[in-house]
Structure 1
Amino acid sequence: MQMITDTSTLAAFCDSLAGESFVTVDTEFMREKTYWPKLCLVQLGGSEEARCVDVLASGIDLTPLFDLLANPDVLKVFHAARQDVEIFVKLTGQTPQPMFDTQVAAMVCGFGESVGYETLVNNICRKTLDKGSRFTDWSKRPLTERQVTYALGDVTYLREIYSYLSDKLEANNRASWLDEEMTTLTSVDTYIIDPQVVWKRLKARTKSSKVLAVLRGVAAWRENEAQRKDMPRNRVIRDDAIIDIAHQCPKDAEALERVRGLNRSIANGRYGKEILEAIHAALALDPSEYPKPPAKKDLPKGLGPVVDLLKVLLKYKSERFDVAQKLIANAQDLEQLAAYGEEADIACMKGWRRELFGDDGLKLKAGGLALAVKGKNIKVIDLEE
């Protein structure tokens, strides 16, 4: 029986997995109509057996599962773990520990940027996934045999993928690189959403602190309302409506009604009243309490060619050391490196990224490194030597 529907069977299976060095974990959930993901299924895989846990089964107690996820002696292996971990943080208040994310590991090992599970199954396991159940309603019961088989595939192939990537990391002496990347994923703070900072995700395109204060206040109201009602943010009010409200600062329901995306019933109802209260509270703040527009330093003129050279060096390093470019640095990082050098507060000037790319980027900028073309290849010449 591949499906676990009662607490005693779950406890027995989790006890058997507690002796493993690692277990593979995946979840199936629904989120289209809710703020919080609705967990429907958990898949667990050990070295010999994989099972699905029906978390919607009547009377099932998930404590044995949570104990296994918290067991410090068992490594939990996920692929693209962030959404799965978010679910467990909501249910338990903590992240699974310790943890290994095969998507991140694959980027460190040169499989490209944000590599998908299907790609790893194809390239490492030499198998093809059945994608027929990818867009299914996991909340409906009973699940079909095809659905269960599909779900189990997300943890059975993961065992081989983990073993391959783990061995490659050790062979390349990059296990510590992955440890740096996992720090964010294993921090509970990564999954706690503060309503007072969600405004930063909205593109208001303004330098006005007053507009940003209103944006922050209304966005925080929407976030709290979405959490309270467990519904998607845009089903409360849409992003563009919040941005318009921030720019227009309506003072009454009549003015609020003219905001794009709102209507009379919203403007004159509870939402309208609470939005106007959020606007009033924001405007009542002392200007010193307004959020400041993101500081953006003007980059020096003529910087383009330097950035272009850094892009070439980055691509060279990425290909030579078989690491995804995006994991090392992005375009904004290269601009900052070109403009401010050692003083740039960017990821590629820290840890393994600096060792791999950042130090040579500084040398290139300072004239201590040259790039040349030899045949079809780039050659890096250390002028200081």
Structure 2
Amino acid sequence: MQVITSTGALEAFCKDAARFHYVTVDTEFLRETTYWPRLCLVQAATPERAVIIDPLAEGIDLGPFAELLADEHVTKVFHAARQDVEIFVKLFDTVPTPMFDTQIAASVCGHGESISYDNLVRSIVGEQIDKSSRFTDWSARPLSEKQLTYALADVTHLRPIYVQLRDEIAKARRESWVADEMAVLEARDTYIVDPEQAWKRLKLKVTKPRDLAALQALARWREKKAQSNDQPRSRVLKDDAIYELAQQRPRSAEAFDKLRAVPRGFGRSASGGEILAIIARVEDMDKASLPAVPHRPRGPSPKGAVGDLLRVLLKAVADSNGVAPRIIASSDDIDAIVLDDQADVPALKGWRRKLFGAKALDIKHGRIGLAASRKGVVEFEIPQDTAEAG
């Protein structure tokens, strides 16, 4: 087992890895007390060799690994890539490309929704991973042999998994399905949180323009504070407190103590003073400057007959394609489609639209119907004069 602790050794590995058409990658990191994940270990494997890279080793420069991640001739293979890639975007300001995520690939090949790595190893490789080291302190040095063995397994088993899933995708002709998902993972914006857009991460519980203005301003303040102090958002202020502040908008330090979701005494802190200034600016905004509350389309109830029909269609489509229904559309997707033909949901985009979304709209508007048969649920076209009469 090779643990790379010097720039020279890392450069030699990366030069060798560039000869192959793929390299498997994983990381170990800590994030419980920080906004940004702290990288503690990088594991990488080519078809011939597997190594552990210690990013905490004194004097090591990860530049050669950044170049390997950017090499367009080498596919970077991850399992559940988002958090790993977020680390590399933060460190190197670039997204590894091209990329292959085995969790996504497994889902489109019928191995289950969001399947875990150890379950995929058990299913494809036929081995059981010892998970006892998963939640150890990866920043502590020296690392034990048990920790290193566990970490290395995250990329060695990934090699046969990648090869099998790649072949399954080609056989099923689902390359376009995976390509759509990879396009999202390879987009830099996927990993960048703009404080101006931070309010969109929150459920929209406000219905008044001034409340929304306050929510936007408070979410922006919290995001900036969390990023600059490298703290989790919840340690700056919890979501419930953001909602309550946006709606109640206290005008004095004492008024904070009457709020249920805000810690007692918070209004007299430096952060409390900053929030009071934010609220004052929101209160001073003229009506013309206030944001419009997003329109909520009105239509049939998502829980009514149309929603029920779309759920039947989803199960039929999923069964016929050998994938879990959740891979194609979520319950929220269906609710959104019932309310809005132009809903911004995955089920109305890319391969999901071709497979399910377009049919869902046809059912909603009475262009096709569903019927039970010995072969299961089948679709049939409804004559338009009949649909219009109904």
The TM-score with structure 1 as length reference comes to 0.93
Separation in 2, partners of 1:303, 1:29:
41
Q: How many Å apart are 1:156 and its aligned residue?
A: 0.6
Corresponding residue number in structure 2 for 1:293: 293
Aligned length: 382
How much is the aligned-residue C-alpha RMSD, in angstroms?
Answer: 2.1
Measured at CA, do residues 149 and 301 of structure 1 come closer, stay the same or move farther in structure 2, by a change above 3 Å? closer
Distance 1:345 1:226, change over 3 A: closer
Q: 1:303 to 1:263 in 2, by over 3 A?
A: closer
- Give the Cα–Cα distance (whole angstroms) in 2 for the partners of residues 345 and 207 of structure 1: 20
Alignment of 1:119-130 (within 5 A): 119-130=119-130
Q: CA deviation at 1:347?
A: 3.3
Deviating more after overlay: 295-304 vs 64-73 = 295-304
| 1:23 alignment partner in structure 2 | 23
Q: 1:119 to 1:214 in 2, by over 3 A?
A: same
Residues 152-208 of structure 1 deviation map (CA, whole Å, 9 limit, x = unaligned): 111111111111111011001111111111111111111111112222223352201
Q: Which amino acid aligns with 1:351?
A: G
Deviates more, 1:248-257 or 1:263-272: 263-272
Q: Does the 8 A contact of 2:363 with 2:369 survive in 1?
A: yes
What is aligned with 1:218? Answer: 218
Identity across matched positions, percent:
48
Q: Give the aligned partner of residue 358 of structure 1.
A: 357
The 1:34–1:180 alpha-carbon spacing in structure 2 relative to 1, beyond 3 Å, is: same
Distance 1:52 1:63 in 2: 16
Distance 1:201 1:69 in 2: 29
> Using a 3 Å threshold, how does the CA distance of structure 1 residues 302 and 357 change in structure 2: closer, same or farther?
closer
| 8 Å Cα contact 1:303/1:339 also seen in 2 | no
Superposition pairs of residues 270-349 of structure 1, within 5 angstroms:
270-300=270-300, 304-338=304-338, 346-349=345-348
* Equivalent AA in structure 2 for residue 193 of structure 1: V
Distance change >3 Å, CA 221–CA 20, structure 1 → 2? same
The match for 2:387 is none
The unaligned stretches of length 5 or more in structure 2 are 384-390
Per-residue deviation, residues 256-291 of structure 1 (Å, max 9, x unmatched) = 233234456432121111111121222333333333
- Please name the residue that 1:5 is paired with: 5
Which ranges in structure 1 are unaligned for 5 or more consecutive residues? Answer: none
The offset of 1:344, in angstroms, is 5.2
Matches within 5 A, 1:246-257: 246-257=246-257
CA distance in 1, matches of 2:252, 2:133: 49
Instruction: Report the Cα distance in structure 1 between the residues aligned to 2:233 and 2:340, rounded to whole angstroms.
Output: 38
Structure 2 distance, partners of 1:85, 1:258, is: 42
AA aligned to 2:46 is G
Write the distance in 2 (CA, Å) between the matches of 1:282 and 1:200.
Answer: 18
CA distance in 2, matches of 1:347, 1:326: 11
* 1:359 shift after superposition: 3.6
TM-score (normalizing by structure 2): 0.92
Q: CA 1:336 to 1:258, structure 2 compared with 1: closer, same or farther past 3 Å?
A: closer
More deviation, 349-358/62-71: 349-358
Q: Secondary structure at the match of 1:207?
A: coil
Following the alignment from structure 2 to structure 1, what is the Cα–Cα distance between the partners of residues 359 and 222? 46
Structure 1 residue matching 2:356: 3-state secondary structure: helix
1:338 to partner: Cα distance: 4.4
The DSSP-based 3-state class of the residue aligned with 1:196 is helix
1:131 aligns with 2:131: yes
